[in-house]
Chain A
Amino acid sequence: MKKPHPIEKVNQPGTPVPASRMFPVFSTWDGKVIDHRANQGNPVKGSCPDKFKDMPFRGLMAWNGIVLREEDTDIPSLAYAYLREARKISCGECSVCMIGIDRVMEIFRGFMEGTGTRQDLNEILEIAHEVSVNGKCNFGRSAALVPVADAVKCFRGSFLALIRGERQLFNHGYESAVTAPCIEACPASLPITAYIEKIKNFQFRESLTLIRSKCILPGVIGRACTHPCEAACIRQRVDEAVAIRLLKRAVSDQDLKEGCTFLPTPEVNKKEKVCIIGAGPAGLAAAYHLRLMGYGVTMVDSFSVMGGMAAAGIPDYRLPKDILLHETGLIKRMGVEVLLNRRIEHLRWDDLKKKGFKALFLSVGAHRGADIGLAGENDVVEGFEQGIDFLRELPKWRSGIKPVHKIFILGGGNVAIDCARSCLRLGCKRVEILYRRSRAEMPALPEEIEGALKEGVKIRYLTAPLRVVCKWGRIEGLECIKMKLGTPDSSGRRKPIPIEGSNVILKADMVIAAVGQEIDTSFMTEKDRKLLSQGGKILVDPVSCRTNKEGVFAGGDCVTGPATLIEALDMGNRAARSIDAYLQGQDFRETWVFNGIDTAAQRGNYFFPESRLVKVPSLEGRDRLNDFAEVERGFSRAEAMEEARRCLRCYRLMVWEVDKSGQEMTQGRRK
C-alpha cells in the first residue's frame, strides 16, 4: 500500500443505512414494544439503542428482544437461526436449557414437515417460560429463548402460516455475535466467560491458551490488573462479583506448578522484519503476535529487563519480578531479538528502513514524572524525588540507603500508593500521602488504598503543596494549603479550591511527587515530533494504531497517556494485526458489534442462589512490612474451581439477517 493515509480517512465507518422510514419498524427491546407496522395501531411504548440505526440489518434478534428495520423480515427463519446459535452456547449442564432449545428446534422442524399444530406454539411459550424461570445459568434465564417467545407472541400470524404450509423456513444469510458484560468491560476483550468455564471444568491448560490469545502476560495481569470486568459482573446483583483477576492468576500459577507450557512457535517464517521500541506490555503483545505470524521481530528497550511499566512501576510485593521475567522470557524464546539497556537518542526511521525493517512500532510508554511545579523545587538537591523514578530505582534504595524518618507523597493515584507502601517496606517510620481532593475522588484502586491504610500509611485529604522549604539544598519541609471541594470540572470530579490563609508548614525529610507521568519524546527529531505527536502524546488512528508516517505505528501509554496494563496489551494486540495487514497490503478492519449497546440490561431480575466469594489469604501484620514479599496469595486449584462455579454465564447473543444490499456490518470505534 503506497498511497498516503491521512488519519481521518482510515477506517471510516461504512455508509450508514438511510433511515428514511421509521426506525425501528418493530422492537421488543427490553420488553418494551414499539410497533410501526402497517395495520397496527399500537402506540409507541419503548425505545431501542441508537446504535442499531447504523447497523445494516433487516431484522435482528438478540438476548434482549427483536428489532426490525424491514417489515417483511422472515421472523420464523430468524428465530430458527437464533435457536441454532443459542444451542451452541447452551452448556447442557442443567436439564431445561439445552433440552428445551432442542425441543423448540424439533417443533420448528415439525412445522417444516407439516406436522405442526397450534398447540405447539403454546408449548414453545411454556418451554421458554420454564427456561427463563428455572434455567441454571443467566444465559438460559435471560437469553436462550427470550426473543423466540417474543416472536411467537408478536408474530403469531407468521407462525400459523408456517404451520399451514404457506411459508417455509429459509436461510437468508445470518450473522451472529456473542459477548458478555465482563468481556465488553475488558479493554482487551478477553474471552472471560469461556476461560472461567474451562477452569470450572478442570481444563487449566485450555483456559491458559484462551487467555494467552488476548493477554500474553496472564500472571502479570492476574496480579496487577485494575479489573474493570469485575465492576461489570452481573453477579453483583446477587452477592459479590466473581474474582476474575484472581482466576486468571490461578491459571498461570497452576501452569507454573505443573511445569510451564511454552508459547507456540511460528509455523512459517516471513522475511519482513519489524522493529519495536519499548518492551512494555504493548510492545510485548505486538512482538508475540507478530512473531506468531512469522515476522522477524527486534525489540529495543532502555531498561535492563523487559516489562516496561510492569517492571519499573509495580513493586515486588504486588508483582514478584520472577513472574514477569518468566512470562517475558517465554516471548523471547519464540525467537524475538531483544536488545536491552539501549537508549535511543535519535530515532531515524529511514536508517532503520535501510537495515531492512519494514515497519516500526513505538511503545515507549510514559516514564517521565510530570512536573508538579512547586515554588522552590529547583533549589532542592536532595530529598525530592519523582514517584516513577523512585519506583524504578527501588533496588538501589533497598540495598543500603538509610531510610529517612518522615516522607510525604504527593498525589492520589496508584503510583502514589505504590510509593507509600514501598517506603514503609524500606523502613520509613512515617509515610503520609497528601491529596488535593477527598477519598471519593482518589483515582487509585480502592483495595490498594485499603491495603495502604492497613499497613499504616496516613492520607491527608484536601491538602495541596505550595512550596518546598529547603536549607542548603536539603529538603526541610513543605508548605501546604487546605482545600475545599467546588463544582465538578471537566474530568467529572469536584474541583478543589484553596482556602485562603490556611497555610501550614509540614516538616519532611523527603518528598516524592507522584502526580502523573508524561511521554519522553526527546528521542524523536524535531521534525518527527511535529509530525507524530500532539499535546505530548503520539498521535495515532485509534483503531489501526497508525501514525502519520508511513510504516510507523504506535501504542500503549505513549499514545493514551498513563493508562492501565490491559489497555496497553489491547493496543499491542491490535497493532500487531494492523501491522500484519499493512505488510500484506490489506485494509485493516476491526468490528465492535456490541459497542453502544448496554449489555448489562436483561429482562427479569431472577433469584440466583447466593454463594460467597472464595477468600484468598494474604500476608498479615508485621510479616507484610519486613520485606517486599508478595502480599496476596492466589487461589489453589480447588479454590479456583469453586470460585469459577460462581460465574453466572451471562452470555449475550445477537443474530441478524444481513441486509440484502450486501453491506457488511459497519465499523464502530470504541469509546
Chain B
Amino acid sequence: MIRIQIDGQSIEAKEGATILSLADKLRIRIPTLCFHESLSPFGACRLCTVEVKRGKKWELTTSCNTEIASEMVIRTDSPEIRKSRKMAAGLLYLKYPGTKLIRDTAEKLGVKVTKSKENSRDCILCGMCVRTCQEVVEVNALRFEDRGPDHPGEPPRIGYIRESCICCGACAFVCPTGYIRMEPYGGDDRRVIWDRVFEMAVCRICGRRFAPLAQLEYLSRKADRPLAQFMTCISCREAETQSLMVDEKDWIAMHKHG
C-alpha cells in the first residue's frame, strides 16, 4: 500500500493501480472514450487527462495508463485540464461531427455542437475492437493498419485479417459507435461481420442454426476435441447434461460415507 494525494485528499492505495481506477473507486468522474476495464489501457482519446505534480509544476498525463507511485500528488480538475479535455473533444468533434457518441461527449466537455439526430456511426479509432480481438479473444483477426511513415497520406484504419476471424462478434459488441456490425446475411443460415460471410452451424439435435461454424471449429481446435462435440446448441446441451447429472445432495452424501 502506498500513500498518495488526489484532489486534496490523502489516501492509501494499492500499488500498480492506475489513476483512473483509483478515481473510479473514489467516485471521481473522469471522461473516457477508449477505456474498457477488461482491456489494457490505450491512451488514445486523450480525454481522461489529469494533472500530476512534478516538482512545483503540474503536468498533464492520461489517467488510464499512468500508474500511481508513492507520494504522487494528483488533481483531476483544473482550468488546464478542462481546457485540454475540451480541446481534444473539440478536435474529435471536428473529425466526426455526425457520430452521436462524439457529439454527446464533446457537448458534456463544453464544446459548442450543432444539435442533430443524425448518427453516422464512424470508426473513431478507439482501438477497443483490436484490443478485444488480441487480448480477450486472442485470435488476432484485427490490427491497426496504415500508421506511421510508410503510409503517407492514407488515413489510419482497422485492418481485418479474414482468415483469422472466427465471427465471435466481440468487436461488434464492444464497438462504442456501432461502426462494426454483425448481421444476418440473406436468411438465418449465414451471418456477416466486417466483409466476410460466415455459415451458421446446425444443431445436431434440434436442427436449429445456432453458432458460426468457424467459431465451433476454433473451439474444437483449442480444446483439442472433435468438432462433433460442439455441434449441439445451448438448450439441447442443457437438456442432455441434466439427465446425466447427479443431485448435489446425493453427491455429498455419497462421499461422506463412502
Contacts and interface: CB of A to CB of B under 8 A. Distances in A.
Interface of A: 87-89, 91-96, 98-100, 102-103, 126-127, 130, 133-136, 178, 193-194, 197, 200-203, 606-611, 641, 649, 651
A91 B156 contact: yes
13 contacts: A87-B153, A88-B152, A91-B147, A96-B91, A99-B92, A103-B94, A130-B84, A134-B84, A136-B46, A607-B61, A608-B61, A609-B67, A651-B149
Contacts of B128: none
Interface in B65-104: 65-67, 69, 84, 87-88, 91-92, 94-95
Interface stretch (B52-60, B111-119, B191-199, B241-249): B52-60
B44 interface: yes
A202 B92 contact: no
B227 to A, nearest CB: 25
B43 A94 contact: yes
B37 interface: no
Given A95-B45, A610-B67, A641-B134, 20 more contacts: A87-B153, A88-B151, A88-B152, A89-B149, A93-B127, A93-B147, A94-B44, A94-B46, A95-B33, A99-B91, A100-B91, A127-B91, A130-B84, A130-B88, A194-B149, A194-B150, A201-B144, A606-B59, A609-B43, A609-B67
B43 A194 contact: no
Nearest 6 A/B pairs, CB to CB: A92-B156, A88-B152, A91-B147, A609-B66, A607-B59, A202-B143
Nearest to A645: B40
A607 to B, nearest CB: 4
A92 B147 contact: yes
A611 B40 CA distance: 12
Contacts of B59: 133, 606-607
Nearest to B67: A610
A649 B147 CA distance: 12
Interface string B112-154: 0000000000001101000000100000100111011111110
B187 interface: no
Nearest to B134: A202
A103 B93 CA distance: 11
Contacts of A203: 143, 145
B155 interface: yes
Interface centre among B60, B61, B69, B91 (most CB of A within 10 A): B91
Contacts of A649: 148
Nearest to A103: B94
Contact of A201 (B46, B54, B147): B147
Interface string B153-171: 1011001000000000000
A197 B88 contact: no
Nearest to A98: B156
Contacts, number: 106
Contacts of B232: none
A609 B61 contact: yes
Nearest to A641: B134
A195 B147 CA distance: 12
Interface residues of B, number: 42
Interface of B: 33, 43-47, 49, 52, 54, 59-62, 65-67, 69, 84, 87-88, 91-92, 94-95, 124-125, 127, 134, 140, 143-145, 147-153, 155-156, 159
Contacts of B140: 202
Contacts of B134: 202, 641
A93 B44 CA distance: 6
Nearest to B156: A92
A580 B249 CA distance: 84
Contacts of A651: 149
B115 to A, nearest CB: 22
A496 to B, nearest CB: 42
B95 A91 contact: no
A581 to B, nearest CB: 26
A232 to B, nearest CB: 19
Nearest to A106: B94
A649 B69 CA distance: 24
Contacts of A200: 144
Contacts of B45: 94-95
Contacts of B84: 130, 133-134
A96 B84 CA distance: 10
B43 A134 contact: no
A93 B125 contact: yes
B125 A92 contact: yes
A641 B143 CA distance: 11
B46 A197 contact: no
Nearest to B61: A607
A526 to B, nearest CB: 52
Nearest to A610: B67
Contacts of A92: 125, 147, 155-156
A135 B49 CA distance: 11
A258 to B, nearest CB: 12
A178 B150 CA distance: 12
Interface centre among A89, A95, A608, A651 (most CB of B within 10 A): A95
Contacts of B46: 94-96, 134-136
A651 B150 CA distance: 13
Contact of B43 (A98, A136, A641): A136
A521 B98 CA distance: 73
Contacts of A610: 66-67, 69
Given A91-B147, A95-B91, A201-B147, A136 B67 contact: no
A49 B93 CA distance: 41
Nearest to B140: A202
Contacts of B61: 607-609
A608 B66 CA distance: 8
Given A92-B156, A607-B59, A178 B43 contact: no
B149 A95 contact: no
A127 B147 contact: no
A85 B101 CA distance: 31
A107 B54 CA distance: 35
B93 to A, nearest CB: 10
B87 A96 contact: yes
Given A91-B156, A94-B44, A126 B65 contact: no
Interface centre among A89, A100, A133 (most CB of B within 10 A): A133
Contacts of A98: 156
A194 B140 CA distance: 21
A439 B102 CA distance: 58
Contacts of B54: 607
A88 B153 contact: yes
B44 A95 contact: yes
B88 to A, nearest CB: 5
